[in-house]
């Protein structure tokens, strides 16, 4: 293997795939980046047990020559050192030459590096994903759907399937659901796909979706999604991102959403967020994060929290509308803040069935998002 390549393009591609390289590999090869060089271009691949990322650098694009390939070949480089070193090389062009037993020579300007590479035959093979159906989602929509659901996924490995976000597709509607049993976030969107194409119980680890999200550029460029039996493939430009589908059956959450409400409030999202944020500061001192919400007369509500050591915070807020029965309810203020922070709508509707029933939060400007927080059972 022998080539010279633009530092800029190589560095960009390496930074993208390196996220999939294991930082504490069980065997050294899993902490590596595979480099495959052909006369068409350079393919970089990294893979741990959960995700694999592959990026392709063509030898030239419309504007200029990116790589000059003298001799095709493959090698695996130790990721951590390789990623940092390529970024810090002095010249715009990098020469890479791999000889016998994967001894690599890297040259750039006055820098000369000998590296011990690894056998590409030992590198894990990428999952085969059969592309029968492809789902296309605009990048910014996919990023928003991820941001608006991942925070509700469980962080406990006790029920592994709950550490993921559930994806369902039916009638051209894609729906994301995440819950840790104390709260739930769901987000729906229309997508361009064959109307008969459907899938259910596709669960992708929340932390994988967060990594995916960072690789999606801003804007509405389409991300292609291919769902196979135990893998999902995301195609973002020349980047391929493979994720394992989590094992297990996701619980049916449809039953926990109340269908009728006794009290409904419309509130300014920003003002409620700020008021709860201040009450949270006090509730945090008690480790419980308990904040109380109470309806008052004249469309006013009161948000409060107290700490035996520190004191009490009381906030009064005017509701844009307040309908139904008077209410006193207590909830985890951290969960409420997490939810309010992902709602982009200026106003929200909060619906209650009673002090012991799930709290439903929705934006006022569209019907595609729904959040649930279970209340605390307190004595007063």
Binding of its own copies by 368 (CB under 8 A): no
Binding of its own copies by 310 (CB under 8 A): yes
CA gap 340, 183 in Å, rounded: 13
| Token duo for residue 61 | 């694009």
Binding of its own copies by 68 (CB under 8 A): no
| Token duo for residue 216 | 């999606």
Between 116 and 194, whose beta carbon lies closer to its own copies?
A: 116
Binding of its own copies by 116 (CB under 8 A): yes
Residues 71-110 that bind its own copies (CB under 8 A): 78, 81, 84-85, 88-90, 104, 110
Give whole-number Cα distances, 211 to 59, 204, 234, 291, 361, in Å: 27, 12, 12, 32, 27
Q: Which of 35, 202, 209, 317 binds its own copies (CB under 8 A)?
A: 317
Q: How far is the CB of 28 from its own copies (least distance, A)?
A: 9
Q: How far is the CB of 314 from its own copies (least distance, A)?
A: 4
Binding of its own copies by 174 (CB under 8 A): no
The region of 11-19, 112-120, 228-236, 254-262 touching its own copies under the rule CB under 8 A is 112-120
Q: Which of 59, 115, 294, 374 binds its own copies (CB under 8 A)?
A: 115
CA gap 247, 160 in Å, rounded: 8
Q: Tell me, what DSSP letter sits at residue 256? A: G
CA gap 237, 224 in Å, rounded: 9
Binding of its own copies by 316 (CB under 8 A): yes
Between 73 and 358, whose beta carbon lies closer to its own copies?
A: 73
Binding of its own copies by 313 (CB under 8 A): yes
* Contact between 97 and 1 (Cβ < 8 Å): yes
Binding of its own copies by 32 (CB under 8 A): no
* Contact between 79 and 18 (Cβ < 8 Å): yes
For residue 356, report the phi and psi dihedrals to the nearest 5 degrees. Answer: -105, 5
Q: Which of 11, 93, 168, 314 binds its own copies (CB under 8 A)?
A: 314
Half-sphere exposure of 11 (CA within 13 A, CB side): 14
Binding of its own copies by 239 (CB under 8 A): no
Between 224 and 274, whose beta carbon lies closer to its own copies?
A: 274
Binding of its own copies by 57 (CB under 8 A): no
CA dihedral 190, 194, 197, 198 (to 10 degrees): 10
Q: How far is the CB of 370 from its own copies (least distance, A)?
A: 28
Between 51 and 104, whose beta carbon lies closer to its own copies?
A: 104
Binding of its own copies by 315 (CB under 8 A): yes
Give whole-number Cα distances, 96 to 69, 133, 177, 331, in Å: 10, 39, 46, 59
* Contact between 71 and 1 (Cβ < 8 Å): yes
Q: Which residues would be at the binding site for its own copies (CB under 8 A)?
A: 78, 81, 84-85, 88-90, 104, 110-116, 274-275, 277-278, 281-282, 285, 309-317
């Amino acid at each position: 293997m022998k080539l010279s390549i633009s530092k800029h393009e190589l560095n960009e591609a390496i930074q993208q795939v390196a996220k999939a390289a294991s930082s504490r590999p069980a065997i050294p090869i899993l902490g590596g980046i595979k480099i495959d060089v052909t006369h068409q271009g350079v393919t970089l691949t990294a893979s741990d047990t959960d995700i694999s990322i592959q990026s392709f650098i063509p030898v030239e694009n419309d504007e200029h020559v990116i790589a000059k390939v003298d001799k095709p070949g493959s090698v695996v480089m130790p990721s951590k050192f390789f990623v940092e070193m390529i970024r810090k090389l002095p010249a715009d062009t990098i020469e890479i030459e791999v000889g016998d037993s994967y001894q690599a020579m890297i040259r750039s300007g006055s820098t000369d590096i000998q590296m011990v590479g690894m056998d590409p035959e030992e590198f894990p093979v990428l999952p085969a994903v059969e592309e029968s159906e492809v789902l296309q989602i605009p990048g910014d929509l996919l990023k928003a759907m991820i941001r608006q659901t991942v925070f509700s996924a469980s962080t406990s490995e006790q029920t592994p399937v709950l550490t993921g976000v559930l994806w369902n597709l039916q009638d051209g509607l894609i729906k994301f659901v995440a819950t840790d049993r104390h709260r739930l976030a769901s987000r729906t969107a229309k997508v361009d796909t064959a109307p008969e194409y459907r899938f259910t119980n596709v669960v992708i680890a929340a932390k994988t979706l967060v990594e995916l999200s960072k690789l999606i550029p801003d804007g509405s460029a389409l991300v292609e999604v291919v769902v196979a039996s135990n893998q999902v493939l995301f195609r973002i430009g020349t980047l391929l991102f493979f994720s394992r589908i989590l094992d297990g059956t996701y619980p049916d959450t449809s039953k926990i959403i109340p269908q009728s409400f006794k009290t409904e409030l419309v509130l300014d999202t920003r003002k409620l967020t700020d008021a709860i944020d201040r009450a949270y500061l006090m509730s945090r001192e008690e480790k419980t994060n308990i904040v109380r919400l109470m309806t008052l007369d004249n469309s006013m509500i009161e948000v409060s929290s107290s700490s035996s050591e520190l004191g009490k915070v009381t906030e009064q807020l005017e509701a844009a509308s307040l309908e139904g029965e008077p209410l006193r309810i207590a909830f985890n203020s951290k969960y409420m803040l997490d939810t309010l922070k992902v709602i982009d709508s200026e106003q929200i509707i909060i619906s209650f069935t009673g002090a012991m029933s799930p709290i439903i939060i929705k934006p006022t400007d569209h019907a595609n998002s729904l959040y649930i927080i279970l209340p605390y059972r307190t004595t007063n």
